[in-house]
Structure 1
Amino acid sequence: MKNLLVAIDRRKDAEQLIGHAIKIAKLTDAKIWIIHVMEGEPDDFLAREAGPQYVYEKRAKERKDSQLQIESWVEEVKEKYSIDIEGFLIQGEVVKSIKKIVAERNIDLVLAGHKKRNLLYSLFTANKKKDLIDDLRIPLLAIPLP
């Protein structure tokens, strides 16, 4: 195993997911890739046609904050553990973006968080992990989150 992909959805779950990736990377001498997938680019001129300005400003701030947070995690892991790690922010649809990174970076294992949801919630929302499992040709490790 040479490349691990940590797919982070929420900041508060990131430390737990990265911690598991560090354990696996130490055992296998693997590189860690941290990604966070966000909505499309708020600075895109065509995307600005519909909606108030404050929405785009809020998204731009969230994107910049997320990028800084990812850079912080990468530096912390490099300093503490001397593990080869990179992180980046992707904009687009989650499953497609992860599939693209898996192919481009020759990922061997994807680590993603899992929260138990009730039946009603799952009936009305997309199941991204199921879509990933169906579409990926590599293992997906679902880490239970509190």
Structure 2
Amino acid sequence: MKNILVAVDHPKYANQLTAYAVQIAKLTNGKIWIIHVSAANPTDLLSREAGPQFIYDKRTEDNQKSAVLIKKLALDVQEQYNVPSEGLLVEGSVVKSLKKIVKDNEIDLVVAGHKRRNLVYGLFTENKKKDLIDELQIPLLAIPLIDVK
């Protein structure tokens, strides 16, 4: 496992996910790629007219904050654990973005969080982790996320 991708969906779980990746990277002398995939702002004028400007401004602000957080997290991993790491914010579809990063960086393992939901929720939504495994064709380590106060 030379290249480990940590997919961070929510900042409050980032440390939990990177802790597992650090353990694996230390055992294998691997590198950690910490990423967050966010929705992209539309670039064409017609799409932008569909909603108020403050929505696009808020999304841009949130993306900038996320990018800073991800880069800081990668720097902290390097400094605290002496594990090479890189932080990226990617805009677009989650599965397509992860697939591209996995291919471009020869990722061996994806570490992602898993939040338990009820059975009814599962019946009416798609299984994104299964879709990821099918699309990426590499191991996915699903970490049960624990709310930290």
Q: What TM-score do you get using the length of structure 2 for normalisation?
A: 0.92
Q: CA deviation at 1:49?
A: 2.1
SS of the residue aligned with 2:142? strand
1:54-89 per-residue CA deviation (whole Å, 9 max, x = no partner) reads 101110110000001011101111111121100101
| Matching residue of 1:14 | 14
Query: Which residue matches 1:145?
Result: 145
Q: CA deviation at 1:45?
A: 3.9
**1:65 matches 2:48:** no
1:95 paired to 2:119: no
Work out whether residues 70 and 88 of structure 1, in 8 Å CA contact, stay in contact via their aligned partners in 2.
Answer: yes
Distance, in Å, in 2 between the alignment partners of 1:63 and 1:75 is 18
- In 1, Cα distance between equivalents of 2:77 and 2:110: 18
Q: What amino acid does structure 1 have at the position aligned with 2:34?
A: I
Unaligned runs of 5+ in 2: none
- In the alignment, is residue 4 of structure 1 matched against residue 37 of structure 2? no
CA distance in 2, matches of 1:29, 1:4: 11
Paired residue type of 1:49: E
Separation (CA, whole Å) in 2 of partners of 1:93 and 1:99: 10
Give the RMSD, CA atoms, in angstroms.
1.2
1:126: Cα distance to partner? 2.8
Residues 1-146 of structure 1 mapped to structure 2, 5 A cutoff? 1-41=1-41, 44-46=43-45, 47-146=47-146
Structure 2 SS opposite 1:90: strand
| Local SS of the residue matching 1:87 | strand
Q: Percent identity?
A: 58
Stretch of structure 1 that moved more, 71-80 or 12-21: 71-80
Looking at structure 2, the residues matched to 124 and 10 of structure 1 have their Cα atoms a distance apart, in angstroms, of 22
In the TM superposition, what is the alpha-carbon distance from 1:13 to its structure 2 partner?
Answer: 0.7
Looking at structure 1, the residues matched to 24 and 6 of structure 2 have their Cα atoms a distance apart, in angstroms, of: 11
After TM superposition, the runs of 4+ consecutive aligned structure 1 residues lying more than 3 A away are none
Q: Any idea what SS the aligned residue of 2:40 has?
A: coil
**AA aligned opposite 1:140:** L
Q: Secondary structure at the match of 2:88?
A: strand
The answer as to whether partners of 2:110 and 2:140 remain within 8 angstroms in 1 is yes
Residues in 1 aligned to 2:51 and 2:137: alpha-carbon distance in whole angstroms: 38
Query: Normalization by structure 1: what TM-score?
Result: 0.94
Check the 8 A contact 2:115/2:144 in 1, yes or no: yes
